Amino acid sequence: MTTPPPATTIKLGLIGDNITRSKSPRLHRTAGQLTGLDVTYDRLIPKDMGLSFEDVFRQAQDGGFRGINVTYPYKELATQKVTVTDPLVRAIGAVNTVVFDADGPKGFNTDYTGFMKAYRDVRGAQSPGVVCLIGTGGVGKAVAFGLVALKAQTIRCIDLDPAKAAALADALRALGSETVIEISTDAGEAANGADGLINCTPLGMVGIGGTALPAAAMQGASWAFDAVYTPVDTQFLQDAVNANLTVISGYELFFGQGLDAWDIFTGVDVNPSELRAAIQGEDL
């Protein structure tokens, strides 16, 4: 684990699109308050700044930031800017946490660990079964690797871009697990007979709206997870509740990945229960 250099203020930030309502600033600033650290956390939106992702990344690196989180749609692009020492994160091919060290930026993926924790908190040791995974971008990749670790029977990788789904399928098969990997461009068809339904697209997010799967296609499944957490109560999850599925909220992934990112940024322990209570219900 890296530790931050001595500083009166730990500067952190989030690079992404459509993040004006992200709760990440609240999580990290509050973690700082609870641990006695002076923490700043800025939203860095390239298009609003009139800059490219590369320009914003460079500004953060040169501007005294300890680290940044990276979200949609830059997680895969971020891998080109960092050194990744964890072979699993290299295989995932997406980075959502970056630390700026003296010898260069280091990349991590806390979506992977955050999803596994969220799943286990709700479903315990139950196998995910047959899973329809919609969206094979940055968070979809991390969740897919988490599903393999959770011993899913089958993962159906769904994407409107067949090449993206195929690339993820190849990476998952290379793990050598017993999980069967399939690909498709039709979410409704892939949901047929699935136990788990997962949205890893931006559909449902504030400012985008919609849902990745028609409500009728949810019938017969057992559980659903939506990576979107702004809003927490997405149409996808509302439809899942109405279909009597067990629901895992994207907020749980957000909280889990945030805790892991905090640890990477600072190496300072924060009480998860205190942090959750302090930020719960805040609408930023």
Q: Which residues are catalytic?
A: 74
Buried b (16+ CB within 10 A) or exposed e, 216-238: ebbeebbbbbbbbbbeeebbbbe
231: cis peptide before it, omega within 30°? yes
DSSP label of 4: P
Structural contact between residues 27 and 258, judged by C-beta atoms closer than 8 angstroms: yes
- What whole-number distance in Å separates Cα of residue 58 and Cα of residue 64? 11
How far is Cα 266 from Cα 237, in angstroms, rounded to an integer? Answer: 34
Q: Which residues pair with 43 in a beta bridge?
A: 14
Give the CA distances from residue 59 to residues 27, 48, 139, in Å, rounded to whole numbers and listed in that order: 23, 15, 24
CA nearest to 214, candidates 195, 240, 247? 240
CA atoms within 13 A on the CB side of 86: 16
Residue 156 DSSP class: E
Q: Peptide bond before 214: cis, by omega within 30 degrees of 0? A: no
List C-alpha distances in Å: 74 to 14, 18, 109: 11, 12, 13
Q: Cα(190)–Cα(133) distance, rounded to whole angstroms?
A: 9
DSSP state of 165: H
Determine the Cα–Cα distance for residues 104 and 280; give it in Å rounded to an integer: 35
